[in-house]
Amino acid sequence: MKTDAVIFDIDGTLTNSIRPIIASWNRYLAELGKPHVPLNEQSAASLMGKTMDDWAMAVLPDLPLEEAREKAEIMEQKENEEIRLHGTDLYPYVRETFQQLSKDYRLFILSNCGRGYIEAVMAHAGIEEYVTDHICFGDNGLDKPENLRKLIRDHDLQHPVYVGDTARDQECCEEADVPFIFVSWGFGDVPDAQYRCDSLRQLAAVIPEVV
């Protein structure tokens, strides 16, 4: 079965945004005047790939979820502004990889991030022209397996693959019955992954191996 689409995770796969996230979130939390838990590199890394509700409750554990969620939405906007102004830490060969793969596959981005984040990273990376569509938790409140199925339905994908960096990504792919390609440079480890990529430059060679 020939792959017809490649769906990318974003954090730990295309970029490491811990730097702008910590800067923007902690700045807002300090101004908020409410009890909070500041982010550091370890806590931010542990939250990568989780839903924005998880992020909200991690930094504002004493607030009701609805109120914490409202504050998190503001922090998401601050984060997106930070990335658009000062960039994020892209992994090597992102634009080159999207340019190459777009010749043979439809490309998508799917994440559990907040609304506007994917657009900010795409703009910084210069890959908007290569991406057919993108979807995230912030768009509709759906977790990754549901959004994987939605993306497949909406675009009538026949044999997509998902590229991600964590065991949760693999679990989501199993739930949605989508082959998973593990990338080794991100925030997780998936030692039993059937398909593995150690550099974005390898991805074009790995995709045809997926059955």
- Spatial separation of the C-alpha atoms in residues 181 and 164, rounded to whole Å: 6
- Spatial separation of the C-alpha atoms in residues 63 and 157, rounded to whole Å: 41
Mean pLDDT of 144-153: 96
DSSP helix/strand/coil, 38: coil
pLDDT on residue 49:
79
pLDDT on residue 48:
87
Tell me the average pLDDT of the chain. Answer: 95
Mean pLDDT of 83-91: 95
φ/ψ of 188, rounded to 5, equals -130, -175
pLDDT, tens only, 93-144: 999 999 999 999 999 999 999 899 999 999 999 999 999 999 999 899 999 9
pLDDT on residue 202:
97
Q: How many CB atoms lie within 10 A of CB 99?
A: 15
pLDDT greater than 80 at residue 1: no
β partners of residue 163: 8, 181
pLDDT on residue 211:
84
pLDDT on residue 51:
85
Q: How many CB atoms lie within 10 A of CB 185?
A: 14
Ordered by start, the domain boundaries in the chain are 5-16+89-209, 18-86
Contacts 24+ apart (CB under 8 A), 65-72: 71/28, 71/32, 72/114
Domain 5-16+89-209 belongs to what architecture? 3-Layer(aba) Sandwich (3.40)
Band (pLDDT 50/70/90 cuts) for residue 61 is very high
Kindly give, in sequence order, each residue whose CB lies less than 8 Å from that of residue 3, ignoring residues fewer than 6 positions away.
105, 159, 160, 161, 207, 208, 210
pLDDT on residue 52:
86
pLDDT on residue 50:
85
Band (pLDDT 50/70/90 cuts) for residue 23 is very high
pLDDT, tens only, 158-202: 999 999 999 999 999 999 999 999 999 999 999 999 999 999 999
